[in-house]
């Protein structure tokens, strides 16, 4: 049983709780000084096993602006991880020093693994190519600010939909609001994983898959551009084949609606021409700024909301079955129970969502 407010996946909170966090972020943004002492005496740890600019610094700035303090590392090579310490031991210790622990890690399911042994709240700041829920809260706040709604949207997602964890969490979240439609713009090899498509279907939302921006840009309320995730490819040849396939240019923006917005979790490489930055519809820098306010709201919410006591693993333990995803946290953290949701003909890994055919 776990009695901390963890944010590992968007569905750790209800839609009304997401709305509460977003409304709180709006209030903080309008009047930040009113919140400057709210976390006095609290400590947030940021454990970043993977590179980050915005997520890490916006979390740190958020805690500092709330009057709290921060500890952590942004390079595991400067910590005992370099000596071979397990995720479990690092998290166990750091969580005993802090009130809230924000973690980014290259392995899928690592945030859930951390929550299993932590003595404080865990926030997933990105687990490999799997999920990135705090980016999604940032994206929801941006949509609400820019378009005034989270429903009845035609959303185009373009680029690396396979490894792009931001798109996975965003699609999961937007599927929970009525009448959202998704246009998935990618090459076949970087298509959205089927478990995310199943979430769209389960909510009764619809999606189409296309391979160019040009054929669809005129229909969109929001275009979400993403970076091709070089670090997740099995070979550099495959990355070379996929990189630079999509580029949003000023010329393409002529065909977009006057009120369409362009979002991007950033960093950008070549997928948005710099000339687009001056277009008022380019919302990505405003989006990054929203990230700090939404994380202030999330920290406050996490520390003040009454925790829902529930098990972190709800499936069956099959210690004789190994997850087939080579990037799953269970591959290296051998002490983790092999927990799966049993769907009859498949087992779904509870850490990384990989499906294993029986
Ligand atoms: C994204 C990430 O790390 O997943 N960046 C971010 O958190 N703002 C997207 C990316 O790295 O391409």
Nearest in space to 101 (alpha carbons), one of 42, 154, 141, 61: 42
pLDDT digits (tens, 9 = 90+) for 47-92: 999 999 999 999 999 999 999 999 999 999 988 888 999 999 999 9
Ligand 1 pocket by Cβ (under 6 Å): 54-55, 126, 132, 135, 165-166, 227, 229, 265-267
Quote the CA–CA distance of 189 and 167 in Å, as a whole number: 16
Quote the CA–CA distance of 347 and 319 in Å, as a whole number: 13
Q: What is the DSSP letter of 292?
A: H
What is the pLDDT, as a whole number, of residue 105?
A: 98
Question: 131: burial class by Cβ within 10 Å (0-12, 13-18, 19+)?
Answer: buried
Quote the CA–CA distance of 60 and 55 in Å, as a whole number: 9
What are the domain boundaries of the chain?
10-132+290-304, 151-288, 316-357
- Among protein residues, the one with the nearest Cα to ligand 1's atom 11 is 267
Q: Which atom of ligand 1 is nearest to the CA of 54?
A: 8
- Among protein residues, the one with the nearest Cα to ligand 1's atom 8 is 265
Query: Which residues in the chain show pLDDT less than 70?
Result: none
What is the pLDDT, as a whole number, of residue 170?
A: 98
Query: What percent of the residues of the chain are helix, what percent strand, and what percent coil, each to the nearest 5?
Result: 40, 20, 40
For 12, 102, 314, 326, the CA distances from 1, given in Å and listed in that order, are: 14, 20, 10, 28
Cis amide bond preceding 146, omega within 30: no
Q: Which atom of ligand 1 is nearest to the CA of 291?
A: 8
Domains 10-132+290-304 and 151-288 in one fold: yes
Residue pair 186/160 in contact (Cβ under 8 Å)? The answer is yes
Pocket perturbation via mutation, ligand 1, pick of 162, 228, 265 by most ligand atoms within 8 A of CB: 265
For 149, 162, 350, the CA distances from 159, given in Å and listed in that order, are: 24, 9, 27
Residue pair 142/163 in contact (Cβ under 8 Å)? The answer is no
Ligand 1 center–CA 166 separation, angstroms: 7
Pocket perturbation via mutation, ligand 1, pick of 135, 163, 230 by most ligand atoms within 8 A of CB: 135
CATH number of 10-132+290-304: 3.40.50.1370
Architecture field, domain 151-288: 3-Layer(aba) Sandwich (3.40)
Pocket perturbation via mutation, ligand 1, pick of 54, 107, 226, 267 by most ligand atoms within 8 A of CB: 267
What is the pLDDT, as a whole number, of residue 78?
A: 87
What is the pLDDT, as a whole number, of residue 274?
A: 98
Q: What is the DSSP letter of 2?
A: B
pLDDT digits (tens, 9 = 90+) for 343-357: 999 999 999 999 999
What is the pLDDT, as a whole number, of residue 358?
A: 85
Q: Which atom of ligand 1 is nearest to the CA of 138?
A: 8
Q: Which atom of ligand 1 is nearest to the CA of 288?
A: 8
């Amino acid at each position: 049983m776990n009695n901390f407010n963890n944010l590992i996946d968007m569905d750790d909170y209800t839609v009304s709780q997401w709305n509460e966090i977003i409304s709180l972020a709006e209030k903080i943004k309008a009047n930040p000084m009113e919140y400057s002492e709210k976390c006095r005496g609290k400590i947030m740890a940021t454990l970043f096993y993977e590179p980050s600019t915005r997520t890490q610094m916006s979390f740190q700035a958020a805690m500092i602006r709330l009057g709290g303090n921060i500890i952590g590392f942004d390079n595991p090579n400067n910590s005992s991880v370099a000596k071979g310490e397990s995720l479990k031991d690092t998290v166990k210790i750091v969580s005993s020093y802090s009130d809230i622990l924000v973690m980014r890690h290259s392995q899928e399911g690592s945030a859930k693994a951390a929550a299993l042994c932590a003595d404080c709240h865990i926030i997933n700041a990105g687990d490999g190519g799997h999920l990135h829920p705090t980016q999604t809260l940032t994206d929801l706040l941006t949509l609400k600010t820019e378009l005034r709604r989270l429903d009845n949207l035609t959303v185009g997602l373009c680029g690396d939909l396979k490894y792009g964890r931001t798109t996975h969490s965003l699609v999961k979240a937007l599927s929970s609001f009525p009448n959202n439609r998704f246009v998935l713009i990618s090459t076949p090899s970087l298509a959205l994983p089927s478990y995310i498509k199943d979430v769209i279907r389960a909510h009764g939302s619809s999606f189409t898959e296309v391979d160019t921006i040009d054929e669809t840009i005129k229909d969109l309320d929001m275009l979400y551009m993403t970076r091709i995730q070089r670090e997740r490819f099995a070979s550099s040849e495959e990355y070379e084949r996929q990189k630079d396939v999509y580029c949003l240019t000023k010329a393409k923006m002529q065909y977009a609606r006057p009120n369409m917005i362009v979002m991007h979790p950033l960093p950008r490489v070549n997928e948005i021409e710099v000339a687009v930055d001056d277009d008022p519809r380019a919302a990505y820098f405003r989006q990054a700024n929203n990230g700090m306010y939404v994380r202030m709201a999330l920290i406050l919410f996490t520390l003040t909301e009454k925790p829902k006591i529930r098990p972190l693993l709800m499936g069956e333990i099959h210690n004789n079955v190994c997850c087939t995803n080579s990037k799953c946290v269970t591959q290296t953290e051998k002490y983790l129970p092999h927990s799966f949701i049993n769907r009859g003909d498949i087992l779904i890994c509870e850490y990384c969502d990989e499906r294993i055919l029986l």
